[in-house]
Amino acid sequence: MSKRIIWTGGAGAAFLLFLILAYALFLRAPSVGMAVPERGMAVEAVYATGTVEPVRYARVGSKIAGRVTDVLKHEGDKVEAGDILLVIDVTESYSQLQEAQARLQLADSELDRAQRLRRSGNVSEAALDQARSAQAAASAALRGAKARLDDHFITAPVAGEVLRSEYKIKVGDMVQPGQILYMVGDPGELNIDAEVDEEDIVKVRPGQEALIRADAFPGRVLEGNVVRMTPFGDPVGRTYRIHIELPRNTPLISGMTTEINIVVRQEANALLVPLSAISGNAVWTVREGRAERLPVTLGAVGSNRVEVLSGLEDDTHFIVQPPAGLKDGDRLRAHSEG
């Protein structure tokens, strides 16, 4: 008899424990932390990527094919506009120039002779016209020979510095028409040639501040300003080009890649909530022990906080970290997280 009573009592205790655990695990409403919004600075920015380039620079190439006979300027050398950078073999073009000069001298002599004979009536007007035409053709041929000879001398179109020798050209190398040989420009005045997504370009205006990061300067934010933007975008890449002016004392160097945040709006007294509180375009609150979804309009989004433009009041308590799968009307227990 006593054994049955003991067994019955043990079973009752176990059942009671089961009920307690079931209540704690399944029936008792989960606890959620609550807080109210804060006021602070919100910055809305447009993201872009770009490359540092000189404001004034030129890519210098060859118009002709030939073998390099002299390399007069190298990377880092200072140059003035018109300085010779490189010479392509001039032997053939120089011979053509000499031939054109000789033909012009002959044509000049023939024209002078025809003019004297015409004045004395010993040649016709047609013969004089023919001599004039020959002299004009010879003069044009000489100008063409000079231009072809000039093509053998690759010169700097702007003053500055040899920023890059594209192919590290050496004496004896062959070059081809259209081949870019040098980049020449002023390394002291730089800007960033950047690309902005077409969805964001409507927010960008000249004069806006740009916050710049580069891998060469980890943890450092550099400054610039938007100075101009292309009026026609790239329909394939769906981007628009903008140019960001850099101060003359910038540590950035030509050719560096950068990530840019263009500040399009600042709000000093914005309503802010933790990013963890946002579920889609809403936050959650607890009213009379039940979950309630509050649709909100979001503004600037930061790394851990987000701006709320409408749908939430300063004194409205919201759930800091809503449980996954939360639905309107779910039972909850609220506690303050400050």
DSSP code per residue over 264-286: EEEEEEEEEEEGGG-BTTEEEEE
C-alpha 278/C-alpha 276 separation (Å) is 6
Tokens 């000489």 sit on residue: 142
Radius of gyration of the chain (CA): 40
Give pLDDT, residue 145.
Answer: 94
Give pLDDT, residue 25.
Answer: 43
Tokens 């981007």 sit on residue: 239
- Most confident of the ranges 1-15, 120-134, 137-151: 137-151
Give pLDDT, residue 22.
Answer: 46
The closest alpha carbon to 183, from 208, 158, 217, belongs to 158
C-alpha 81/C-alpha 155 separation (Å) is 8
In degrees and rounded to multiples of 5, residue 149 shows phi and psi of: -65, -40
Q: In the structure encoding, which two tokens stand for residue 257, read together? A: 């890649």
Whether the CB-CB separation of 263 and 211 falls below 8 Å is answered with yes
Q: In the structure encoding, which two tokens stand for residue 36, read together? A: 């109210």
Give pLDDT, residue 196.
Answer: 95
Whether the CB-CB separation of 312 and 37 falls below 8 Å is answered with yes
Residues 113-119 have a mean pLDDT of 87
Q: For 297-313, how does the pLDDT look when each residue is reduced to its tens digit (9 = 90+)?
A: 998 888 789 999 999 99
Q: How many residues does the chain have?
A: 338
DSSP structural state of residue 331: B
Strand-strand pairing, 31-35 and 333-336: parallel
Residues 305-326 have a mean pLDDT of 92
**pLDDT over 90, % of the chain:** 70
The DSSP result for 193-254, as a single string, is EEEEETTTGGG--TT-EEEEE-TTSTT--EEEEEEEE-SS-BTTTTEEEEEEE--TT----T
Number of Cβ within a 10 Å radius of residue 49:
13
Q: For 208-250, how does the pLDDT look when each residue is reduced to its tens digit (9 = 90+)?
A: 999 999 999 998 999 999 999 998 999 999 999 999 999 989 9
Q: Cα–Cα distances in Å, from 4 out to 9, 17, 63, 87, 207?
A: 8, 20, 110, 113, 89
* Least confidently predicted of 146-150, 253-257, 333-337: 333-337
Scanning 63-124, the segments in alpha helix (DSSP H) are 91-119
Whether the CB-CB separation of 77 and 162 falls below 8 Å is answered with yes
* pLDDT classification of 23: cutoffs 50, 70, 90: very low
* pLDDT classification of 24: cutoffs 50, 70, 90: very low
104: left (phi over 0), alpha (psi -120 to 50) or beta: alpha
pLDDT at residue 295 greater than cutoff 80:
yes
* Structural domains of the chain, with CATH: 29-42+268-336 (2.40.420.20), 46-55+186-266 (2.40.30.170), 59-89+156-185 (2.40.50.100), 90-151 (1.10.287)
C-alpha 308/C-alpha 306 separation (Å) is 7
Whether the CB-CB separation of 68 and 172 falls below 8 Å is answered with yes
pLDDT at residue 95 greater than cutoff 90:
yes
Residues 284-295 have a mean pLDDT of 92
Whether the CB-CB separation of 212 and 80 falls below 8 Å is answered with no
Whether the CB-CB separation of 46 and 203 falls below 8 Å is answered with yes
C-alpha 46/C-alpha 300 separation (Å) is 10
C-alpha 270/C-alpha 41 separation (Å) is 6
C-alpha 5/C-alpha 11 separation (Å) is 10
pLDDT at residue 1 greater than cutoff 50:
no
